[in-house]
């Protein structure tokens, strides 16, 4: 039996205290953040952590991010915090930056997946901050989706995935950023990005001078086709098969047109995630397509390539939407790997299991 709390109600203050009490007692509570919804548990309570893995159906060797409501709490969790880390925190907290540090003994190895480091962030969201503060403990929280499904960017998706599996869901607005936080290893002399997010390498460099990217993250700039699709990338995806095209816009549209015509003539459904300018061109081309084309082609718009924040915000929700529409394939107009584009391409690579093509 899952308690669902709405944020914009007169009784919210009382409800959020109940949610915090549940957290304190070792229950699991899902809540909104600025990135994606999180599924929280008291970071100092082993049972609560086990509950998270169980609710998500996630293997328990995958470490969790611990969420805090003020910067001082970092010192309850981590040791050997170098001066440059405080500069980063000053610049980006509260916000979508997670720092990985040497853990304190008190932090359970269940939270850290057996590692001697702990990942910590202070989310930039009033509901998340209030919940953590009222609970009075750091809150370990992965994204609040069932394992393997796209991260939830709206309360409806959390309710869909986790009703009956957790004690409480705090149902707020859609997430402002839509992609998970940047995960940054700050145990060394220079920070290293382990997972790209909306705090970009360029922004981090502007604060600390130098920032590397984990070599395990793929660099698309020199690739023309995936080396081994599906081999080294964990499934993290919609039901539909995802394919990403990058490169020349005109050729991408030609490719998309052939995919549309194939779906129309063979009677199946596909989804497109494209920019507004692509849509204009395609709709013009569609004048020559069979009249019923819209029964076979679902289009999700991602805004415009000069501002990728809309693409980031909509990406996961669009995948769920296109799945819901029964699309058997999804074709996506990929982007350059700079700034926010690096995080977007990282998620698209996983969702497509490496089916990223440069044309």
Using CB under 6 A, list all residues that contact ligand TXA. Answer: 33, 35-36, 38, 62-65, 96, 98, 100, 112, 115, 117-119, 123, 141-143, 180-181, 183, 194-195
Nearest approach in angstroms of CB 227 to ligand TXA is 22
Nearest approach in angstroms of CB 180 to ligand TXA is 3
Tell me if 151 sits within 8 A of 180, measured CB to CB. Answer: yes
Query: Which of ligand TXA, Mg ion, none does 301 bind, CB closer than 5 to 8 A by kind?
Result: none
CA 141 to chain centre: 13
Instruction: Tell me the window of 135-143, 192-200, 226-234, 269-277 that interacts with Mg ion (CB under 5 A).
Output: 135-143
Considering beta carbons, is residue 124 or 143 the nearer one to Mg ion? 143
Q: b/e for 162-179, b at 16 or more Cβ within 10 A?
A: beebbbbbbbbebbbbbb
CA–CA separation, 320 and 315 (whole Å)? 9
Should residue 33 be labelled a site residue for Mg ion when binding is judged by CB under 5 A? Answer: no
Query: Which of ligand TXA, Mg ion, none does 63 bind, CB closer than 5 to 8 A by kind?
Result: ligand TXA
Tell me if 35 sits within 8 A of 181, measured CB to CB. Answer: yes
**Count, residues near Mg ion per rule CB under 5 A:** 1
Tell me if 146 sits within 8 A of 160, measured CB to CB. Answer: no
Query: Which of Mg ion, ligand TXA, none does 91 bind, CB closer than 5 to 8 A by kind?
Result: none
Nearest approach in angstroms of CB 120 to ligand TXA is 9
Considering beta carbons, is residue 36 or 264 the nearer one to ligand TXA? 36
Helix-then-strand count for the chain, H and E: 11, 17
Query: Which of Mg ion, ligand TXA, none does 352 bind, CB closer than 5 to 8 A by kind?
Result: none
Nearest approach in angstroms of CB 151 to Mg ion is 5
State the DSSP H helix or E strand holding residue 171, giving kind and residue range, or none if neither: strand 168-171
Neighbour count for residue 280 (Cβ, 10 Å): 10
Nearest approach in angstroms of CB 95 to ligand TXA is 10
Instruction: Tell me the window of 22-30, 98-106, 139-147, 311-319 that interacts with Mg ion (CB under 5 A).
Output: 139-147
CA–CA separation, 249 and 256 (whole Å)? 10
Considering beta carbons, is residue 69 or 143 the nearer one to Mg ion? 143
Considering beta carbons, is residue 124 or 243 the nearer one to ligand TXA? 124
Peptide bond into 94 cis (omega under 30): yes
Considering beta carbons, is residue 95 or 197 the nearer one to Mg ion? 197
Query: Can you tell me which residue has the tokens 């700039």?
Result: 221
Listed in sequence order, the residues at least 6 apart from 138 whose beta carbon sits closer than 8 Å to its beta carbon are 42, 43, 44, 66, 67, 68, 73, 76, 77, 120, 132
Q: Which residue is nearest to Mg ion (CB)?
A: 143
Rule CB under 5 A: choose which of 143, 153, 200, 201 binds Mg ion: 143
Query: Which of Mg ion, ligand TXA, none does 141 bind, CB closer than 5 to 8 A by kind?
Result: ligand TXA
Would you state the structure tokens that stand for residue 151, as one six-digit string? 């991260």
Terminal C-alpha separation, the chain: 50
CA 355 to chain centre: 19
Binding site for Mg ion (CB under 5 A): 143
């Amino acid at each position: 039996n899952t308690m669902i709390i709405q944020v914009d109600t007169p009784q919210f203050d009382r409800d959020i205290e109940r949610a915090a009490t549940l957290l304190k007692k070792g229950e699991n509570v899902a809540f909104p953040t600025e990135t994606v919804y999180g599924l929280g548990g008291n970071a100092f309570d082993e049972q609560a952590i086990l509950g998270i893995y169980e609710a998500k159906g996630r293997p328990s060797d995958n470490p969790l991010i611990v969420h805090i409501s003020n910067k001082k709490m970092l010192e309850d969790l981590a040791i050997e915090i170098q001066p440059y880390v405080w500069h980063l925190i000053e610049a980006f907290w509260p916000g979508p930056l997670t720092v990985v540090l040497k853990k304190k003994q008190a932090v359970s190895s269940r939270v850290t997946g057996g590692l001697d480091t702990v990942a910590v962030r202070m989310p930039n969201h009033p509901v998340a901050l209030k919940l953590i503060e009222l609970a009075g403990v750091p809150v370990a929280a992965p994204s609040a989706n069932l394992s393997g499904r796209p991260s939830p960017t709206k309360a409806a998706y959390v309710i869909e995935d986790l009703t009956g599996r957790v004690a409480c869901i705090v149902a707020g607005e859609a997430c402002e950023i839509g992609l998970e936080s940047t995960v940054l290893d700050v145990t060394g002399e220079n920070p290293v990005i382990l997972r790209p997010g909306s705090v970009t390498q360029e922004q981090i460099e502007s604060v600390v001078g130098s920032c590397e990217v984990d070599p395990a993250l793929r660099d698309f700039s020199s690739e023309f086709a995936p080396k081994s699709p599906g081999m080294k990338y964990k499934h993290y995806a919609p039901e539909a098969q995802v394919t990403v095209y990058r490169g020349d816009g005109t050729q991408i549209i030609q490719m998309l047109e052939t995919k549309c015509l194939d779906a129309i003539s063979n009677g199946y459904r596909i989804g497109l995630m494209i920019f507004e300018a692509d849509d204009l061109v395609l709709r013009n081309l569609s004048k020559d397509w069979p009249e019923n084309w819209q029964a076979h082609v679902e289009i999700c718009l991602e805004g415009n390539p000069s501002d990728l924040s809309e693409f980031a915000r909509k990406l996961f929700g669009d995948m769920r939407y296109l799945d819901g529409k029964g699309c058997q394939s999804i074709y996506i107009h990929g982007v350059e790997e700079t700034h926010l584009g690096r995080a977007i391409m990282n998620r698209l690579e996983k969702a497509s299991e490496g089916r990223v093509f440069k044309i």
